[in-house]
C-alpha cells in the first residue's frame, strides 16, 4: 500500500513518541494506584482527571491509527490489546475516586460527566477485549448513546445533579437542626 506523508508522520508519532510516552504514563499511574492501595489514603482529587486525560489520549491514538495498514500492524494490535486490558483497573480506580466524591459532596454536573466517561471507557475497553473488531463504529454509537443520556434523557446531568445537590443540602440542614417538617428554620 502507498502511504501519504501525513500517514508516515502519524505512524512515526504513534510508534516513536506516543507509545513510549503512554508506557511511561502507565507506569506512573499504576505506581500511584499501588501507593493508594498500600496506604489506603485517597487523595483529595485529581485522580479522575489524570485517568480521563490519559485515556482520552489513548483512545484518540487508537482512532487515528484505526484501519491504517502498516508493517507495524501486529505490534499495534498487541499494544492496543494491552492498553485496553490495563485500562480496566484504572477505570475501576476512577469509579472509586468519583464514588468517594459523590458520597461526600453529592453529584454535580462535572462528577456526572466523569462518571459517564468512566462508564464509556469501561464499555469500549470490554468491547475491544471481547470483540476485537469493528471497534470504531461501536465507539461512535456508544458515545452518541452517552451524549443522549447525559443531555436529553430524564437522567440527564442537570436534573440528576440538581436532585442530588438538593438532597445533600436537605441532609446537611437536617443534621444541623435547620430543616424541620419540610421547612428551613
pTM of the predicted structure, to 2 decimals: 0.83
Those residues with Cβ within 8 angstroms of residue 35's Cβ, 6 or more apart along the chain or in another chain: none
**Which phi and psi (to 5°) does residue 131 adopt?**
-90, -45
pLDDT in tens, the chain (185 residues): 445 666 677 777 777 888 888 888 888 989 988 998 899 888 877 888 889 988 888 888 888 777 665 666 777 778 888 889 999 999 999 999 999 999 988 999 999 999 999 999 999 999 999 987 778 888 989 999 999 999 999 999 999 999 999 999 888 888 888 888 877 87
Distance CA 141, CA 153 (A): 16
**Residue reference for cell 459532596:** 105
Asked whether the beta carbons of 48 and 98 are under 8 A apart, the reply is yes
Distance CA 185, CA 90 (A): 45
Amino acid at each position: 500500500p502507498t502511504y501519504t506523508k501525513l500517514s508516515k508522520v502519524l505512524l512515526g508519532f504513534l510508534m516513536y513518541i506516543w507509545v513510549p510516552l503512554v508506557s511511561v504514563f502507565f507506569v506512573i499511574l499504576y505506581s500511584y494506584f499501588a501507593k493508594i492501595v498500600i496506604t489506603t489514603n485517597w487523595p483529595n482529587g485529581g485522580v479522575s482527571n489524570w485517568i480521563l486525560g490519559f485515556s482520552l489520549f489513548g483512545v484518540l491514538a487508537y482512532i487515528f491509527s484505526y484501519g491504517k495498514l502498516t508493517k507495524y500492524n501486529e505490534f499495534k494490535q498487541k499494544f492496543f490489546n494491552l492498553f485496553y486490558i490495563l485500562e480496566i483497573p484504572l477505570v475501576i480506580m476512577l469509579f472509586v475516586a468519583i464514588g468517594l466524591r459523590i458520597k461526600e459532596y453529592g453529584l454535580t454536573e462535572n462528577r456526572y460527566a466523569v462518571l459517564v466517561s468512566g462508564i464509556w471507557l469501561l464499555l469500549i475497553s470490554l468491547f475491544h477485549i471481547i470483540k476485537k473488531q469493528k471497534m470504531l463504529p461501536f465507539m461512535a454509537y456508544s458515545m452518541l448513546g452517552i451524549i443522549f443520556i447525559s443531555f436529553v434523557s430524564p437522567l440527564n446531568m442537570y436534573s440528576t445533579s440538581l436532585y442530588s445537590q438538593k438532597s445533600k443540602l436537605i441532609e446537611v440542614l437536617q443534621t444541623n437542626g435547620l430543616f424541620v417538617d419540610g421547612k428551613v428554620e
